[in-house]
Structure 1
Amino acid sequence: MNDRPGLVVVAPDVRTLSTVDGLSALLIDYHLRTETEKGRPVAGAAELPERYRAEAEDPEGAFAEAVVLVALDGGTAVGCLVVTAPADGRTEIKRLWTDPGHRGRGVASALLDAALAQAARSGARAVRLSVWRWRTGAVSLYERFGFAVTESWDERAELICMERAVEPQTPVHG
């Protein structure tokens, strides 16, 4: 699904996330776009709600219990996705974002493939996510990856909650 020969998806050590070139910019872009789409545009990162601003300013602290996957092209982050630690047999995908200049090139698909593999390695039985209703392209992508709409666990009316089973990972013995 990745048609970018230089694209690689990595899971940097959470203690070094602030050193990943371009990751903070991706997170800021994600949150600025989301606030605009929710009808609450802000001029810059300094005006984002504190919990969102903290993700870009201190990703190590914000994602300490998660795995952050980063799509790199030439050493620069062009996409990101967060996979939470398993709870009750489920992991959750958050913050899937691709730099607009790299869309349509398999970045999001590569990140989702890596997220599903991460979930399988973690022992999760299912992966869930929530997506804003107006992000129809993202909803379609998730459906292609086998996610289905499920009962909402979030009180925000415009969110669609989706879930899919995780294929158990078979250990390789040598």
Structure 2
Amino acid sequence: MTDHRVCTVVRRPGRAAAAQAGTAGLLAAYHLRTQAEKGEAVAGVDELPDRYRAEILDPGTAFADDVLLLALSGDTAVGCLVVTAPDEGGCEVKRLWVDPAFRGRGLAAGLVREALAQAAELGVGVVRLSVWKWRTDAIALYERLGFTVTESWDERDRLLCMERVP
């Protein structure tokens, strides 16, 4: 039986075609779901804002300076998370997504823990993230893992900003 809790660090997703394709699918699902939750549903990837479409079409370039974490089931990417390159003593965790068929297995928590380990390895002082206020399960996960709400650095309505020392 395959261990569905495996987290693999992929630093250059462009080098592995399977990782690239799997990452693109996860990012597409993330962005399409987010647009729908914001009340701005679109029919497909082609209708997403340019910056999100660019991530999906070429994750290797979009996240070239970042650490991309993937949760794998065998060779299939079933979860992802991005740890941005350090900036002003901190980094950001973003794009946490686990395929709905693989939820409830600890993959999201594993990805966040690995992100914190990566941040510590990079020597950053704080890990930040922003999460939509309606994503209560994600907020609960972040709080369980030691993140606390902080003053917002983002002007978007309904966005909650959190941080943690790695």
Q: TM-score range by the shorter chain?
A: over 0.9
SS at match of 1:28: helix
Letter in 2 for 1:93: V
The offset of 1:6, in angstroms, is 4.1
Q: Which runs of 5+ in 1 are unaligned?
A: 167-174
Per-residue deviation at 1:90?
Answer: 0.6
CA–CA distance in structure 1, aligned partners of residues 128 and 11 of structure 2: 23
> Equivalents in 2 of 1:136, 1:63: separation in Å?
27
User: Structure 2: how far apart are the matches of 1:109 and 1:43?
Assistant: 30
Task: Pick closer, same or farther for the CA change 1:115–1:127 going to 2, 3 Å.
Answer: same
Q: Conserved in 2, the CA contact under 8 Å of 1:68 and 1:83?
A: yes
Equivalent residue of 1:7, what SS? Answer: coil
2:10 aligns with 12
**Contiguous gaps of at least 5 residues in structure 2:** none
Determine the C-alpha separation between the residues in 1 that align with 2:67 and 2:32: 22
Deviation, 1:13, is 3.2
Cα distance in 1, alignment partners of residues 35 and 13 from structure 2: 28
**1:40-59 equivalence runs, <5 A:** 40-59=40-59
**RMSD between aligned residues:** 1.3
Alpha-carbon distance in 2 for matches of 1:101, 1:28:
16
Q: Secondary structure at the match of 2:6?
A: strand
- TM-score w.r.t. the length of structure 2 is 0.94
- Residue type at the aligned position of 1:9: C
Alignment correspondent of 2:138: 138
Give the counterpart letter for 1:73 in structure 2.
S
Give the fraction of aligned pairs with identical amino acids, expressed as a percent.
Answer: 58
Cα distance in structure 1, aligned partners of 2:138 and 2:106 = 13
1:163 Cα deviation after fit: 0.3
The answer to whether the 8 A contact 2:5-2:105 is kept is no
Amino acid in the other structure paired with 1:26: L
CA displacement 1:128-166 (0-9 Å, x = unmatched): 000000000000000000000000000001100000111
Report if the CA contact (8 A) 1:18-1:60 is conserved.
no
Tell me which residue corresponds to 1:170: none
Q: Give the count of matched residue pairs.
A: 163
Letter of the aligned partner of 1:13 in structure 2?
A: R
Amino acid at match of 2:24: S
